[in-house]
Amino acid sequence: ADASSGDPVLRLAARPAPLFIPRPSPAYVSATTTTTTTTRDRSSPDRRRSPSGHSSSKPPPDGRMSWQTYVDEHLMCEIEGHHLTSAAIIGHDGTVWAQSAAFPSFKPEEMANIMKDFDEPGFLAPTGLFLGPTKYMVIQGEPGAVIRGKKGSGGVTVKKTGQALVIGIYDEPMTPGQCNMVVERLGDYLVEQGL
């Protein structure tokens, strides 16, 4: 049977991977290595910048998709009529590359603790994973690659790539497996691209 017919999850899995993932420009990399954590002001779309320094509300001049497009079209995509409640792509240093409108504000130490759990699997287990005002109980993940958290009927999946964290937050009726698939698929693609 053709994967494009029938099950919407199989149709998503059968979709070709994105053709291009923008690489951070040298100016972006040098600017973010000296900066701690910055989050954009949700009321000002002009402050939302792609790694190339262009506003994510429009593509860079060469026509390539921005990081924001990957959040909007690949992380916030619809699966069986449901989608993540929020998502983001965040640099290892805690700098927001792109995020959905509902992604929670977070503290620098929250991203530092997530990064530490990747380096020392189990670090977050006793305290939980905090992301903004929400505390998630850490559940089975993939040491050094994926952290999964649960709170009530929802949860979070964090996939680590070479340069970024791909984060998806879900609530029912979306399932944990659907969230994992969406987040990890984009994260795996970034890893394949050396990002």
Query: Could you tell me which residues come within 8 angstroms of residue 60 by beta carbon, excluding any fewer than 6 positions away?
Result: 22, 50, 52, 54, 66
* Mean pLDDT confidence for 65-73: 87
Give the CA angle between residues 180, 50, 109 to the nearest 5°: 60
* Mean pLDDT confidence for 105-119: 95
Beta bridge partners of 151: 154
Give the tokens for residue 180. Answer: 């994992």
Give the H or E element holding residue 165.
Answer: strand 164-170
Q: Give domain limits for the chain.
A: 81-193
* Mean pLDDT confidence for 52-78: 63
Q: Is the pTM of this model over 0.85?
A: no
Give the CA distances from residue 63 to residues 60, 66, 94, in Å, rounded to whole numbers and listed in that order: 6, 9, 27
* Mean pLDDT confidence for 28-49: 36
Pick the CATH number of 81-193 from 3.40.50.970, 3.40.50.300, 2.40.50.140, 3.30.450.30: 3.30.450.30
Of the listed ranges 9-18, 21-30, 103-112, 128-137, the least confidently predicted one is: 21-30
Q: In the chain, where does DSSP find H-type helix?
A: 8-14, 26-33, 67-70, 108-119, 176-192
Give the tokens for residue 37. Answer: 């954590």
Tell me if 111 sits within 8 A of 94, measured CB to CB: yes
Of the listed ranges 7-21, 91-105, 128-142, the least confidently predicted one is: 7-21
Distance of CA 170 to the CA centre of its chain: 12
- What is the pLDDT, as a whole number, of residue 156? 97
User: Between 107 and 53, where is the model more confident?
Assistant: 107
Give the CA distances from residue 17 to residues 5, 123, 185, 187, in Å, rounded to whole numbers and listed in that order: 18, 33, 9, 11
